[in-house]
Structure 1
Amino acid sequence: MEYRNIVLVTTKVAEGIVRDVVRGIKDFNIKLVVLDAPIAALINTRYIARELKRRIKEVLDADIVVVPGLSRGSARVIEDAIGKPVIKGTKYAGDIPELLKLLKNGTEFSPVTPADDIILEHLRHTYSERFNEYLRRAEEVFKVSNLSFYAKPPPLNLFYEVLVTRITNDENIRSIVGKVVKYGYQGIVLGCEAGGCKLSALLSIARKVRDLAPGIVLGIDMECREELLKDVINYVDMLFNVTSADVEKVSHLINDEGVVLTVKPVRSARRREVVGALEKGYQELLNMGIDKVIINPALLPPLLGLYESLITYYEVREKFSKAPLLMDVSNVYELIDVDTHGVVALLEALAFELGVSSILITEESRKAVGALKEASISREMLYRAFIKKSPPIDIDVDMLYIKEKKYRNVDPPAIRGERHVVLVSRRIDPILDPKYYVKVYVDHASKMLVVDVFERGSDNLVKRFVGSDALSLSRAVVRSVDITKEHALYLGYELSRAETALILGKSFIQDTPLIIASYDECDENSS
């Protein structure tokens, strides 16, 4: 059956988004019916049936009615109420165009199953195509070294900053460049600490980065002293953290090609002073003919101005609607003792909503290791959610490393007779192996597990076993060394924990806890 007249049922909150995504569709006559309800997840199909029956005139011309995929219950009750074919649409508005495209091509949808579940593979395959189509329409503000900068995301440019003092050899440089390229970053920023950095080392590293990754944008974050900048400015594409007080120092050093300047405020506790200083510095640069400028209002740490600085970002976005903004999110995740991946994802989402199109990432503390990868995954989550017009949920990408969305435990089956059950309610001390003892290590540098087997008594090393798979390593030890059964069980237990530490990048110390749960045991079986 051919459908020409489509009624889309939506809610007040989603109305604007739905109108936006269907605006350019010309193959159908689309009519919106907006229900007097906040969000689709809180309504059921019986409610929709009552409302549409009451407003029957609005659906009389419909060939088919599409109701929100998040609505609860079967849409057959709606069909019975209005006498029209009714299907469940997609859960989120961004996928409506794909639903309509497939509806036109004859795909059959259901009054019971949300459209997403029917066309999941299609949505997966067309995501990149839809996102790239959006990027083709996006208008850049300026370009430097083949990298485009935009007033608002997407795209979201990622920059990785590393202190020059942390780069001690060429292998460090290759490792940094390799990670940046692997995770799709747009640039590397070489940072100098407060006391400055050795100019010769800085220039040497800059040249090597250029040789290894000619397509990567190179930035420098250093004190704005003219005698230093004049020697490095020709090696870099971006100069970070220029304040309004530095404008005069750097303006005449910018070459004809133009270096991107990221302007930040002189530290101030007052939001109005921050916005004023940024406006002054930005306008001075524009007056000098320097228009490749990114504004960095500066994100402050938790309890030291974080909330206020987010408001500053909003006000700067409103005042400079065409200027790209940058956010250094490490100012938050480096200064709060929680796992970084959730913080990074939330901060990127906030930046996205605030219209920030460039993100700066560091890994200066031990707990921040992995933030580079986490920011890349977070960006992919935001891109997919942006296309779907949804929160970053149920998009085939996530960072649920410890917790899970659904309880999928395989519970033990019931058995008859208590005589078959052995309850172990107290600790059973081990019977030590009379011949050997083992030491288990994690070598994070080589990504290997190590088992050293020693003779008990003499402490002589019998053999070292190295491997990346705990089970195979355990088998290799027990087949090569005559350890006792209890010792073999213990070795398998410790190697399993070591393998988990290797996967998570955590420190491993034999016989000490690896993970401490952040929630009560009674909550573990929550669905």
Structure 2
Amino acid sequence: MKKGILLVTGRNASQAVEEYAGKFPVRIHSCSENVAALLSAKGILEELSGENLDGISMIIVPGAVRGDVSVIQEKLGIPAWKGPRNLVDLPFVLEKVSSGMELSAKIPADEILGDEIKKEIEKELDRAYKPDKFSMKIGEKIFLGSGISHVIAEIPDAPMLNKEDIQRIAGYYEESGAEIIDIGMVAGEDNSAKVAEIVGAVRDSTDLPVAIDSLQEREILAAVDARVDLVLSLDLTNYEISDSLDVPAVIIPRDENGKLPKNVDDRIKILENLMGKVENFIVDPVLEPPNLGLVGSLGSYVRFRDEYPDVPMLMGAGNVTELMDADSPGINALLASMASELEIDLLFTTEASKKTFGAVRELSTAVKMAYLAKARKQAPKDLGISLLMLKDKKEVPQVDAQRFDAIKPIDVKEGEESGIDTFEFRVYLEDGKINIIYLRGNDPGLRFRGTRAKDLYIEITKRGLVENAEHAAYLGRELTKAEIALVLGKNYMQDSALF
């Protein structure tokens, strides 16, 4: 009985295919075309027609091959299927077909096995977060040194918040993927008397490790007494309290005068000095904001990692996202990838402004992308997870659009007024929900609340509150805008453009 599998690939990927398929009984046919995605069923058939296919029970072509490849089976009499689009999924696909699973001549294997591949990714990430070997432990849940970065999320100016707000933010950060909750203190103030209460509030809302972010000695010691799991930060102005700490501390290159040198050599010298004075430390060379030393400060990370490959490190992503008027998903993706290359153990961020809403979730996703890409020795794309929020990877063809080409279009005028006012509805966002007030005269009559435009629209129309088609179009437009604003964390104003 034929048992062999023939893997067809482009010339450029043949060595990688051989590595990924090593333990399986396969033959590899490297086509004359360099790029696998440029192969066609016809071209593959022409190449295989002169090959000896004795012992081959199935042919698997790259998942990126265009169109239907069933013609290969029709001509050669051997099942021909599309494999995965990403080579990293090849071992899993080969394991499935070796167990008797059939694939498709039209659909890439990773689409067919999408849910199972996602489960394998989850297992891989779980192993990274819970490694057998690690260099440092923070609390009972965070293990450094496994190759994946861990996200610290700061509650900014925590002493100025009430208990309910602290707990709300901590819970939100945990839901967003944070792994350590950091208590941000107020610079220039001594709020040591409030520290124990703040730590208790965070502990009541989450089981995650808790950190204190302060340079004030009294605040740090109060936090240690309250059993925090990590201290941010020690420098040459306060390192002497390190003997009183029984938890890891982040060290930063501030000198005796509280100044941060710009020169890479000076930063490294201060850090090396502190490494000789503090016993249980994590190094943060300090990432500067864009246009204020970002590139130079990155040099400190590169130099330190080259000289100390095994020392735990932290990088402050929030220094970039908060101090740059640009959408944060792409920034976080880039920072996480750089951190992965440098084997940074901890990434620090916050959501201190409207524009960085969602930054914790973004960074949590970004570190997973970076880890998976590094493990697969590839760029952070085609991983099954992404931070594409406003754009798409590929153009989706408009189905049957050509059928309507013969119909003469009516070109509408831009800026035409609808002729209606906001009629009976007021739409606004509050507490993470879309709110709609239905007015009877000048008095509020009904209030609707939800998160999806469709659900709200159905409820409103079911009650007979929409008078005509023009009102229906208006309400549908405003509710859709509100839902998009809610998802993206943007401001919503009724009758105003969203972008």
* TM-score class normalised by the smaller sequence: 0.7 to 0.9
Q: Does 1:461 align with 2:443?
A: yes
Cα distance, 1:466–1:184 mapped onto 2, change above 3 Å: same
1:503 partnered with 2:463: no
1:414 maps to which of 404, 408, 411: 404
Distance 1:224 1:71 in 2: 61
Deviation at 1:158, TM superposition (A): 1.3
Cα distance, 1:139–1:13 mapped onto 2, change above 3 Å: farther
Distance 1:35 1:274 in 2: 53
Q: Name the CA shift for 1:37/1:330 in 2 (closer, same or farther; >3 Å).
A: farther
Write the distance in 2 (CA, Å) between the matches of 1:152 and 1:96: 24
- Find the aligned partners of 2:29 and 2:312 in 1 and give their Cα distance: 38
Q: Distance in 2 between matches of 1:393 and 1:121?
A: 18
Which residue number corresponds to residue 388 of structure 2? Answer: 400
Whole-Å Cα distance in 1 between the matches of residues 477 and 194 of structure 2? 47
CA contact (8 A) 1:295 1:326 kept: yes
The one-letter code sitting in structure 2 at the alignment partner of 1:295 is: V
3-state SS of paired residue (1:210) = helix
Residue in structure 1 matched with residue 257 of structure 2 by the alignment:
none
Structure 1 range deviating more: 336-345 or 378-387: 378-387
Q: Establish whether residue 353 from structure 1 lines up as the match of residue 341 from structure 2.
A: yes
User: Which amino acid is 1:95 matched to?
Assistant: D
Distance (whole Å) between structure 2 residues aligned to residue 350 and residue 319 of structure 1:
17
Deviations 1:222-265 (A, max 9, x none): 1143x44333222211111322x14642221123xxx1111222
1:472-505 Cα shifts (integer Å, max 9, x gaps): 6556379566856645543443333233323332
Conserved 8 A contact 2:184-2:212: yes
Alpha-carbon distance change, 119 to 315 in structure 1, aligned in 2, over 3 angstroms = same
Q: After TM superposition, give the deviation of residue 430 of structure 1 in Å.
A: 4.6
> Aligned-pair distance for 1:283?
3.4
Check if 1:105 corresponds to 2:89. no
Contact 1:94 1:387 in 2 (8 A): no
Match of 1:362 in 2: 350
Q: Hey, what's the Cα distance between the residues in 2 that align with 1:48 and 1:478?
A: 57
Separation of aligned partners in 2, 1:269 and 1:36: 53
Which stretch of structure 1 is more off in the superposition, 176-185 or 463-472?
Answer: 463-472
8 Å contact from structure 1 (residues 478, 488) kept in 2: no
- Whichever residue aligns with residue 178 of structure 1, its letter is G
Classify 1:122/1:512 alpha carbon distance in 2 versus 1 (closer, same or farther; 3 Å).
closer
* Match of residue 192 from structure 2: 199
Task: Pick which of 478-487 and 383-392 moved more.
Answer: 478-487
TM-score, normalised by the number of residues in structure 1:
0.76
Structure 2: distance between partners of 1:404 and 1:38: 26
> Greater CA deviation, 171-180 or 495-504?
495-504
Q: Give the counterpart of 1:163 among 118, 140, 156.
A: 156
Q: Partner letter of residue 99 of structure 2?
A: N
Question: Residues 346-374 of structure 1: CA distance to partner in whole angstroms, max 9, x if unpaired?
Answer: 21122112211211110111101111222
- Gaps of at least 5 residues in structure 2 are 255-259
Are 1:274 and 2:258 matched, yes or no?
Answer: no
What is the TM-score when the length of structure 2 is the normalising length? 0.79
For 1:90 and 1:308, locate their aligned partners in 2 and report how far apart those are by CA, in whole Å. 41
Cα offset, 1:188, TM superposition:
0.7
Does the Cα contact within 8 Å between 1:161 and 1:188 map onto a contact in 2?
yes
Match of 1:524 in 2: none
- Alpha-carbon distance in 2 for matches of 1:168, 1:147: 27
The 3 A distance-change label for structure 1 pair 169 and 64 is same
User: 1:78–1:223: structure 2 CA closer, same or farther, 3 Å change rule?
Assistant: same
Deviates more, 1:331-340 or 1:303-312: 303-312
State the secondary structure of the residue aligned to 2:448: strand
What is the match of residue 251 of structure 1? 242
Secondary structure class of the residue paired with 1:252: helix
Percent pairwise identity: 26
Cα 1:489–1:137, aligned 2, differ >3 Å: closer, same or farther? closer
SS in 1 for 2:151: strand
Output aligned runs, 1:208-223, within 5 Å: 208-213=201-206, 215-223=207-215
The aligned length equals 489
Distance 1:138 1:386, change over 3 A: farther
- How far apart, in 2, do the equivalents of 1:101 and 1:190 lie? 47
Indicate whether 1:373 and 2:392 are aligned.
no
Q: Quick one: structure 1 residues 109 and 438, their matched pair in 2 at CA, closer, same or farther if it must change by over 3 Å?
A: closer
Partner of 1:306: 294
